[in-house]
Each structure stands twice: as C-alpha cells, then as structure tokens.
Structure 1
Amino acid sequence: MKIQGRMFIWLSVFILAMAIVYGLWSKEAAGTTALFMAFGLSVMIGYYLAFTARRVDAGAQDDKNADVADDAGELGFFAPHSWQPLSLAVGGALAFLSICFGWWLMFFSAPIIFVGLFGWVFEFYRGENQNQ
C-alpha cells in the first residue's frame, strides 16, 4: 500500500501543477475547477492509502523481490450478496436526474437513498447475516 499511496500523492502534485498552469493559461473556470477537484480527490486517496499502510502489515507489492504468487490468498472480509448498492444506485440516478427534470424528483429519490444507506450500514445487525 505504500507504493500506491506515494503514487497518488505524486499524481496529486502533478495535477496541482497542471491545474495552476491550465488556470493561468486558459482563464477558463470549468476546466480549472475540475482539475483542482481532481487534485483534492487524489490527495484524499493518497492520504488514505498512506495512512492505512502504516497500520497494516507490508504486502507483497511493497517488496521489490516478491513474486506474484506471494500476494495470493485471502485479502479481507467482503460482504456477501447485498441489494443495498442497487437501492443506492437507483436513488442516486434519480437524484441526478432531478437536476435535469426538476427538483421535485428529489422527493422520490431521497427516501430511496436513505433506505439503501440505512440498510447497508445495518446489514450485519439483522437477518441471515447477523453476527452472533
């Protein structure tokens, strides 16, 4: 993870430089804003990966002499089948469509989003996936 964290931090430095050059050269607000937002997203991902790399054991990707097979095996816990992401996707799609068709559509999408988010957060507290 250390490698990925460094890659994203360096990518964010590059994007910041390009955003400054693009902003000064083109004087165009939309592209400059998009580049600065990409810089912010890249910093967030890089910081998360660098912060997480300090708390976990070094993986095979951090060893220069590692083989591909060294990273085989179980990588962590992943949730079993879940319908909650579908609910969030439908609610998010309706929310973005409300920008186009009218804000009244947000009244229908917000409950779908809240139900999906609530269901995903509390997925392991009820039903067949309940932890004992």
Structure 2
Amino acid sequence: MKIQGKMFIWLSIFILAMAIVYGVWSKEPAGTTALFLAFGLSIMIGYYLAFTAKRVDAMAQDDKEADVADEAGDVGFFSPHSWQPLSLAIGGAFAFLGVAMGWWLLYFSAPLILIGLFGWVFEYYRGENQNQ
C-alpha cells in the first residue's frame, strides 16, 4: 500500500504542475478548474493510502523480493450465470436514452430496472441457487 500512496502523491504533484502551466498558458477556466480538482482528488487518495499503509501489515507488494503468487487468494464471490445485470444494463441504457431523446422512454426502462433489481436481490432465495 505504501507504493500506491507514493504514486498518487507524485501524480498529484504532476497534475498540479500541469494545472498551473495549463492555466497560465491557455487562460481557459473550465480545463484549469478540472485539473485543480483532479489534483485535489489524487492528493486525497494518496494521503489516504499513505495514512492507511501505516496501520496495516506489510503486503506482498511492499516487499521487493515477493513473488506474484504471494498475494494470491480469494478475490470474492461472483454470481454464476446471472441474467439480472443484463436487465439492469438495458434498463439503464433506456433510462439515459430517455433523458436525451424523450422522457417517454422511462416508461419502458423503469420496469426493466425494477425487474433486474428485484431479481438480483432475491436470486439466492429461490431456484437452483437457493441457500439452505
């Protein structure tokens, strides 16, 4: 974690330098503001990672002699063959398209989003994936 904190802090210094150069050179307020905001976000992330690295044990990425397999382990649980994200993606696409083209598309997207959310929340309460 220490190396990520240092990387973000160095990145924030670079972004700050580029924001100053861009602001002086272009005199364009929107891009300059965006770069200063990016500096603020990267310095916050870098500070958090550097601060947290002091409180946690050293990880394999902090050891220069570590192998790639030293951090191996469970990544997490992922739903097998779930169709619910597809329903949410189509419903979300229609919703955002409704903002751009016409609010009437929300009548088609809302049921797809609700079906997807309901199915995703309750997919382990029934059927073959039911937990005993």
TM normalised by structure 1 equals 0.61
Q: Is residue 2:72 matched to residue 1:72?
A: yes
> Would you say how many aligned residue pairs link Structure 1 and Structure 2?
129
> 2:40 and 2:106 mapped to 1: Cα distance?
27
- Other structure's SS at 2:66 match: coil
CA RMSD of aligned residues (A): 3.9
Please tell me the residue identity of whatever aligns with 1:102: G
Q: C-alpha offsets along residues 14-38 of structure 1, whole Å, 9 cap, x if unaligned?
A: 6577668767854454x56766776
Distance change (3 Å), C-alpha of 1:72 and 1:43: same
User: Deviations along 1:98-131, whole A, 9 cap, x unmatched?
Assistant: 1232111011112211221222223222222222
Given residue 79 of structure 2, which amino acid in structure 1 is its aligned partner?
A: A
Unmatched segments (≥5 aa) in structure 1 = none
Pick the structure with greater CA Rg: 2
Larger displacement relative to structure 2 (57-66 or 19-28): 19-28
Residue 77 of structure 1 and its aligned partner are, at CA, apart by 2.1
TM alignment of 1:1-132, pairs within 5 A: 3-4=3-4, 7=7, 11=11, 25-29=26-30, 31=31, 46=45, 50=49, 59-132=59-132
The SS at the match of 1:128 is helix
Identity rate of aligned residues, in percent?
Answer: 75
Letter in 2 for 1:123: E
> Cα distance 1:21–1:108, how it changes in 2: closer, same or farther (>3 A)?
farther
Measured in 1, the distance between the counterparts of 2:32 and 2:82 equals: 38
Q: 1:119 to 1:39 in 2, by over 3 A?
A: farther
Separation (CA, whole Å) in 2 of partners of 1:61 and 1:3 = 8
Sort the Cα spacing of 1:36 and 1:116 in 2 relative to 1 into closer, same or farther, 3 A: farther
Tell me, in whole angstroms, the C-alpha distance in 1 between the residues paired with 2:113 and 2:99: 16
Equivalent AA in structure 2 for residue 88 of structure 1: L
TM-score under structure 2 normalisation? 0.61
**Cα gap change, 1:38/1:113 in structure 2, threshold over 3 Å: closer, same or farther?**
farther
Q: String of CA shifts for 1:68-108, please: whole Å, max 9, x gaps.
A: 12233432322212111101110111112112321110111
